[in-house]
Amino acid sequence: MSDSRVVHLDRRQFLRLTGQAGGGLMLAAVLSNTAEATSSVNALATDAVFTPSAVLQISAAGIVLYATQPEIGQGVKTSLPMLIAEELEVAWQDVEVRQSEIDMERFGRQAAGGSTAIWRAWDPLRRAGAVAREMLIAGAASRWGVSVDQCVARDSHVIHTPSNRRIHYRQLASVAQRMVLPASNTISLKAKSQYRLLGTRVGGVDNLSVVTGAKLFASDVYLPKMVHAMYVRSPVAGGRVAEVNLDVIRGLSGVLDVFVLEGNGEDTELRSGVAIIAKDTWSVWQARKRLQIEWDTTDAATDDWQAALVAAEQKLAETGRARIVGERGEAEAMIKRSTQQLASTYRYAFLSHAQLEPQCCVAHYHEDEGRLEVWAPTQTPQRAMTVAAKVLGIEEKKITVHQPRVGGGFGRRLMNDYVGEVAAIARRVGHPVKLQWTREDDMNNDFLRAGGIHALRAGLDAEGQITGWQNHFVTFSPDGERPVTGGDLKNDTDFVQLLEHTQLRRSMLPWRSSCGFWRAPGSSAVAFPLQSFLHELAVAANKDHRDFLLGLLGESRWLEPDNRNALHTGRAAGVIRLATEKAGWGRQLPPGRALGLAFYFSHATHVAEVAEVSVDANKNITVHRVVVAVDAGPIVNLSSAESQVQGSVVDGLSAMMGQKITHEAGRVREQNFDNYPLLRMPAAPEIEVHFIESDFIPSGLGEPALPPVAPAVCNAIFNASGQRVRSLPLREEGYSMTASRS
């Protein structure tokens, strides 16, 4: 074996090579020429398991790649191992993919949120595959007694090119394990033009199991002697149990126990409530119907949506007294000197996550060892450990979290309150316990996307250019000092960043009910008013909407040269041009039918969408087609990428059309899908997805295609009917959606 392929790494070099800090990878061992290392290598060779990193192992039994991040339907259990497989030069059909354990030390941060999984793993996982590939090549060369320069890796084999001899990776586990880790400067990662797996369509590794009903989810977990639990919380935030008919419930058939938990004062961990334990689900559900609780609501929320709208109008009438939280240039003066001035007020409601799998969690407290096992469908499994440890008052090292597949998250499962509940119940019960929420529990105890009101004002000069921009944003606050989670707004948002004279004022209304991160946090809400108002300005300027947006973008540049996660005007222009081209922008359409355009930049991804919509005299709308153009850098799995974009469009249409959570005296009115409707299949439009596979580092796709949906459709409604929509959901404005048709 050539000396150029064998080096000895110190700890600092090793960590730099494997990218531990950036992607959470750690190779299993660092080999050196010491006697201790030689002994370790011989032991590994005897086991014949090649484990050059925490994310892969090769043995005579097969090739295993580990998916380290939670699978919540976004496809990372497939796409992340694909990154390893591409550089490993392994045939995909030879791979077994397994969900990894939850372990910060071995895998770094394990979480699903913010559409970050791919870009965080892009370099580290590819490098892990490349390191293993080079060690396998070196092992085969050593076994054959030839130069590594005469060997290549291909389709799970190392091939000696002069003789065409080949050997499968499974046969190289023992010898490859004896190879020394190569130096980082000898590892070459493939150029995009060399990819054979990345960018292709690969079916999800769990697809067959999902459609055949295999046991993948928390609700499928069954343990010996397991009991069943439900937990009843206050219908208003901050309510506490005052009195409850415990004796009646204890006497019911199948009930094993019922007790009050006081909570720990943290809504994200453990709220006050009553736990019912029974031998089966039927018994626990029937017992819940008989439960009678008197709640102490002395310090509870009194939130009311209609009252908030009235209060917001008062705030907007006092714009001059609202706090300025962002300002560039002289927006007020420039608007006053404008040829035209426009002002519009937009609003949108609170939203629930409404993931199809209500919260469900299984736990087993091992009293003799003082430790807890949890099977938790969570987006933040390491945070789940922290919550459980805090609720139980034990060390995190005493908590083991198993990661089942998650039946949807959209940000709801960033919070682990259900883990705190099941932890507290499991310790009290002494048996494995399954905690099951109902849909009503989910709606009542969600961490909602905050509603908001935007009073927008702008000026145009004689050439139709924007001279100044103002936004008075009314949001909500739990303490009068900071907005609710997910209810803030930066001054530099999307196209507003391009303007020289801008001002953002913010007013906050009191709000106690829990809010949180909802798919494309912030962006999913503010894209509607901002992109709709830009269309209003284009109409007032008598300019084509596409040309108006392209004119704002100007020359191709990063808005923040040192920040590659910032908006890039050239990439924005590229998706706008592609979406409008594919949609047939400017073509003649029948009366009552039109195209609408919107762009948004979020999670480092540039997305433009064109919606083709019909509107009749009774406000029945049909969304025939949505054309989406995306620049998210190189695509890892084309099948998953398309699915994520299509899912975002459907989710965006659902929220836009009929979804709204309203509070009355602190209580949530909407309890289930009968009054919080999901989009039905007949109304789903044709969704056409186009990717610009630029050479930038890949960014996320789970969220960025949702924000442009509502403004694209609402702009199309205006173009088709002359009716401007400034409030969501549409059904509250008298609109209904009919089946899609050509």
- Asked whether residue 13 is domain-assigned, the answer is yes
Asked whether residue 18 is assigned to any structural domain, the reply reads yes
pLDDT at 676: 97
Instruction: Please indicate, yes or no, whether residues 581 and 522 belong to a single structural domain of this protein.
Output: yes
CA-nearest of 612, 608, 579, 580 to 719 is 612
Q: Work out the pLDDT band at 24, boundaries 50, 70, 90.
A: very low
CA distance 249 to 38: 65
φ and ψ at residue 486, rounded to 5 degrees: 80, 5
Q: What angle do CA 383, 389, 393 make, to 5 degrees?
A: 150
Do residues 583 and 695 both lie within one domain? Answer: yes
**564 domain residue, yes or no:** yes
Both 619 and 660 in one domain: the answer is yes
Taking 60 as the threshold, does the pLDDT of residue 466 lie above it?
A: yes
Look at residue 493 in the predicted model and tell me its pLDDT.
Answer: 80
Which residues are registered as beta bridge partners of 258?
276
pTM above threshold 0.85: yes
Both 643 and 513 in one domain: the answer is yes
Instruction: For residue 395, give its domain range.
Output: 218-297+371-436
User: Which tens digits make up the pLDDT trace of 101-157?
Assistant: 999 999 999 999 999 999 999 999 999 999 999 999 999 999 999 999 999 999 999
Rounded mean pLDDT, 675-680: 95
Report the C-alpha gap between 82 and 75 in whole angstroms.
Answer: 11
What is the percent of the chain where pLDDT is above 90? 89
Q: Is the pLDDT of residue 7 over 50?
A: no
Q: Give the model's pLDDT for residue 674.
A: 95
Whether 563 maps to a domain, the answer reads: yes
Strands 323-328 and 502-510: antiparallel
For residue 19, pLDDT beyond 80? no
Clarify whether residues 406 and 284 are in a common domain: yes
How confident is the model at residue 4, as a pLDDT? 33
Same domain (yes/no): 486, 601: yes
Q: Which residues contact 634 (CB under 8 A, 6 or more apart)?
A: 192, 195, 198, 199, 693, 694, 695, 698
Q: Is residue 358 one of the residues assigned to a domain?
A: no
Asked if 626 and 692 sit in the same domain, the reply is: yes
Q: Do 402 and 340 share a structural domain? A: no
Q: How confident is the model at residue 47 (pLDDT cuts 50, 70, 90)?
A: low
Domain presence at residue 232: yes
Is there a single domain that holds both residue 287 and residue 152? no
660 and 732 share a domain? yes
Q: What is the dihedral of CA 246, 249, 251, 253, to 10 degrees?
A: -160
Q: Judge whether residue 741 has pLDDT over 90.
A: no
Asked whether residue 543 is domain-assigned, the answer is yes
Q: Supply the pLDDT for residue 43.
A: 34
Distance CA 152, CA 164 (A): 10
Rounded distance between C-alpha atoms, residue 393 and residue 585, angstroms: 61
529 or 695: whose pLDDT is higher? 529
CATH number (domain holding residue 456)? 3.30.365.10
Asked if residue 52 lies in contact with residue 92, where contact means CB atoms within 8 angstroms, the answer is: no
Residue ending a domain, among 144, 168, 198, is 198
Residues 553-565: pLDDT tens digits?
Answer: 999 999 998 887 8
Question: How many domains is the chain built from?
Answer: 3
Q: Is the pLDDT of residue 29 over 80?
A: no
Task: List CB contacts of 344: < 8 A, sequence separation 6 or more.
Answer: 455, 456, 533, 536, 724, 726
Residues in the chain: 742
In whole angstroms, give the CA distance from residue 259 to residue 291: 11
What's the mean pLDDT when you consider all of the chain? Answer: 92
Asked if residue 203 belongs to a domain, the reply is no
Same domain, 485 and 409: no
Residues 282 and 393 in one domain: yes
Question: DSSP class of residue 351?
Answer: B
pLDDT band at residue 48, thresholds of 50, 70 and 90? confident
Strand partners, 118: none
User: What pLDDT does residue 385 have?
Assistant: 98
Query: pLDDT tens for residues 317-346?
Result: 999 999 999 999 999 999 999 999 999 999
